[in-house]
A and B are shown apart, each in its own frame.
Chain A
Amino acid sequence: MTRATRLAIFAVAGAGFAALLFWSLVDLPDFGHYHWPYGKLLNAVVVNERHTTNVVGATVFDYRGIDTLGEEFILFTAVLGVALLLRKEREDADAAGDDVRDDALRMLGLFTVAAVFVLGLWVAAFGYVTPGGGFQGGVVLAGAFLLVYLVGGFRSYRALAPDSVVDFAESAGAGAFAVLGFVGLAYESAYLRNFLGIGDTGTLYAGGSIPLLNWATAIEVCGAMLLLFSEFLEAYVTPVSRWRSR
């Protein structure tokens, strides 16, 4: 294809895209003028109805219902795909000679790993009270494990996050979320409907079944991230020649 042909095709496609984009932007409401019912309704009723001060958390883990289940399984499915593509027999990884021997670095790890781990627990635990939540907390928790790899090496990482545990955590978290949703369906007539007492506003006891779903999400996301890291790190520490021959 010559340069002129490509430019001509781009001109047509670009003009079409620009027209569609412009068309979609014309009728947008003015900046800061939100006038759809759901957002306003939720903002008005959530704190009273669920005693959770993070309306986003309550919306995702309660009012939105089955949509959130689909969102849960996006990550689950994506990571499953990674594992299917990258996971082969485990044999080379334990021989990885990337152990960190620098004492200063290992010492730094002692402090940072613990701090990041606690931060992850905090972000997850208070997800429905303050900004944060199971997803964000789960990723930060997985980040603590990744730090172990950075300051210790792949063998330390693998010892802390063995496949059997990580696989189980990911599946159990996703499964628990689905099951908790069905409990809502069975007892309260709608998927993901709250089925516990709503507790005290602004505390960790608030939200009824929201905390359970929040933790299920945290465990699933942390497991999914660790599985992702395991597969990619193994690909990284395995010598290229052996990687290709497998």
Chain B
Amino acid sequence: MIPLQVVSLLLVAASGLSVVLIRDPRRQVVANGLYGLVLVVLFMVFQAPDVALSMLAVGAIAYPLVVLVAISRVRGETYDKDEERR
């Protein structure tokens, strides 16, 4: 295993851990984006450019949108309930 591969594996482990340890969902979306980017680097280093492209497209475009909208909807609903209670 070449050093670059070792480094990218460690980076994936570290950024994956950071996603789990961050507790605020909105911050997690950002951390997850970084995790996705590191995974792209990992796939490139391990000579799988097709997989890297898939990860790049899905991780940068589809996934954050779906998660962010879901979070805002959930928060919106709790906010609404608070309004009704007052």
Are A and B associated in one complex? yes
Residues of A within 8 A of B (CB): 31-32, 54, 56-57, 123, 131-133, 135-136, 139-140, 142-143, 146, 225, 228-229, 232-233, 235-236, 240-241, 243-244
| B residues near A229, Cβ cutoff 8 Å | 62, 65
A139 and B58 form a contact (CB under 8 A): yes
A-facing residues in B33-86 (Cβ within 8 Å): 49-50, 52-54, 56-58, 60-62, 65-66, 69-70, 72-73, 76-77, 79-80
The answer to whether residues A54 and B62 also contact, given A139-B57, A236-B73 and a CB cut-off of 8 A, is no
B54 and A135 form a contact (CB under 8 A): yes
Q: Is B21 an interface residue when CB atoms closer than 8 A count as contact?
A: no
B53 and A225 form a contact (CB under 8 A): no
The answer to whether residues A136 and B57 also contact, given A32-B1, A54-B50 and a CB cut-off of 8 A, is yes
A106 vs B37: C-alpha distance when bound (angstroms): 27
A136 and B53 form a contact (CB under 8 A): yes
A31 vs B9: C-alpha distance when bound (angstroms): 13
List the 7 shortest-distance A-B pairs measured between CB atoms, nearest first.
Answer: A131-B49, A139-B57, A240-B76, A143-B61, A136-B53, A232-B69, A236-B69
Distance from A169 Cβ to chain B, minimum over Cβ atoms (Å): 16
Jot down 17 A-B pairs with beta carbons below 8 A, ordered by A.
Answer: A31-B1, A56-B50, A133-B50, A135-B54, A136-B56, A139-B61, A142-B62, A143-B61, A228-B66, A229-B65, A232-B65, A232-B69, A232-B70, A233-B69, A240-B79, A240-B80, A241-B80
A241 vs B41: C-alpha distance when bound (angstroms): 43
A244 and B80 form a contact (CB under 8 A): yes
| B residues near A146, Cβ cutoff 8 Å | 61, 65
Interface of B is mostly: helix
Distance from A22 Cβ to chain B, minimum over Cβ atoms (Å): 18
Distance from A98 Cβ to chain B, minimum over Cβ atoms (Å): 13
Chain B minimum-CB-distance residue to A60:
B50
Chain B minimum-CB-distance residue to A225:
B62
| A residues near B79, Cβ cutoff 8 Å | 240
A131 and B50 form a contact (CB under 8 A): yes
| B residues near A133, Cβ cutoff 8 Å | 50, 53
A142 and B61 form a contact (CB under 8 A): yes
A235 and B50 form a contact (CB under 8 A): no
A132 and B66 form a contact (CB under 8 A): no
A146 vs B65: C-alpha distance when bound (angstroms): 9
Chain B minimum-CB-distance residue to A130:
B49
Interface centre among B50, B54, B66 (most CB of A within 10 A): B50
A110 vs B9: C-alpha distance when bound (angstroms): 38
| A residues near B54, Cβ cutoff 8 Å | 135-136, 139
